[in-house]
């Protein structure tokens, strides 16, 4: 695996590859607790054509530990500060994976003039919170126990996983999603531990994400579950290219 060169600005660890081009810069938003390395199968190829930025949110990698609630508004503000500090010129194509898709959703609403387009990659939907109710009781119990253990740690109690509901409320209260190109990439393969009913709810929520923009489209990654950037990287790379082309 070719390493991704990383640096640090302020509290955040990041990777930035600059390409002299008039095309929108790509900003990658990791899934929950996911590191920059989660993009390794697509980062270098995209860097050959575009300016691309990936970063670790607080508490991940060598980024500082959080000292306050990591809800969506705080995460969006920290990303905006990083972009400004690195002087990455807009517009941006925001690519959000999993929980990072919630933050992409909110960021696009808060800063619509900076957005060229959005790619939601197996993105969380605010209504995905209801999926936990369809899990077997033992899994719900384990989730509660793990959450309470996290809350014991001074740093982990501020972790983003504890503020997902607050982030969902912030999305609801923010301005409208911009009328920009939107691509929702959904893994078509049901994860082994996910009950059929939960999968049906999630796929319905994925279809709802497409409705955020009149320019919304959905792409099913036939051979993928929750990580198309691992299992079908070429499909994801081409989809990002197509979204940037549409944004032109």
Express each pLDDT in 114-168 by its tens digit: 999 999 999 999 888 655 543 444 334 334 433 433 344 445 777 787 888 999 9
Give the integer Cα–Cα distance in Å for 246 and 241: 9
Q: Express as a percent the part of the chain with pLDDT over 90.
A: 75
Neighbours of 193 (CB within 10 A): 9
* CA 200 to the chain's CA centroid: 21
Q: Is the pLDDT of residue 221 over 80?
A: yes
Q: Which fold has domain 7-247?
A: Rossmann fold (3.40.50)
For residue 55, give the DSSP letter.
E
pTM for the model stands at 0.90
Give the integer Cα–Cα distance in Å for 192 and 119: 25
Residue in the structure block whose two tokens are 């923009």 = 213
Residues 225 and 231 sit within 8 Å (Cβ to Cβ): yes
């Amino acid at each position: 695996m070719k390493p991704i060169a990383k640096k640090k600005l302020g509290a955040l660890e990041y990777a930035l590859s600059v390409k002299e081009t008039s095309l929108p810069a790509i900003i990658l938003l990791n899934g929950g607790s996911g590191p920059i390395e989660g993009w390794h199968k697509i980062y270098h190829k995209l860097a050959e054509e575009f300016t691309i930025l990936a970063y670790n949110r607080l508490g991940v990698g060598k980024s500082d530990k959080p000292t306050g609630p990591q809800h969506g508004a705080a995460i969006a503000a920290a990303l905006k500060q990083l972009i400004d500090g690195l002087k990455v010129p807009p517009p941006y194509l925001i690519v959000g994976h999993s929980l990072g898709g919630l933050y992409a959703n909110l960021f696009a609403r808060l800063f619509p003039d900076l957005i060229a387009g959005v790619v939601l990659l197996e993105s969380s939907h605010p209504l995905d919170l209801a999926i936990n109710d369809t899990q077997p009781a033992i899994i719900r119990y384990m989730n509660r126990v793990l959450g309470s253990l996290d809350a014991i740690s001074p740093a982990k109690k501020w972790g983003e996983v504890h503020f997902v509901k607050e982030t969902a409320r912030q999305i609801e209260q923010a301005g409208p999603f911009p009328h920009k190109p939107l691509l929702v990439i959904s893994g078509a393969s049901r994860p082994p531990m996910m009950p059929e009913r939960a999968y049906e709810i999630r796929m319905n929520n994925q279809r709802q994400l497409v409705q955020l923009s009149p320019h919304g489209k959905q792409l099913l990654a036939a051979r993928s579950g929750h990580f198309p950037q691992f299992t079908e990287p070429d499909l994801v790379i081409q989809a990002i290219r197509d979204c940037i082309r549409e944004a032109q």
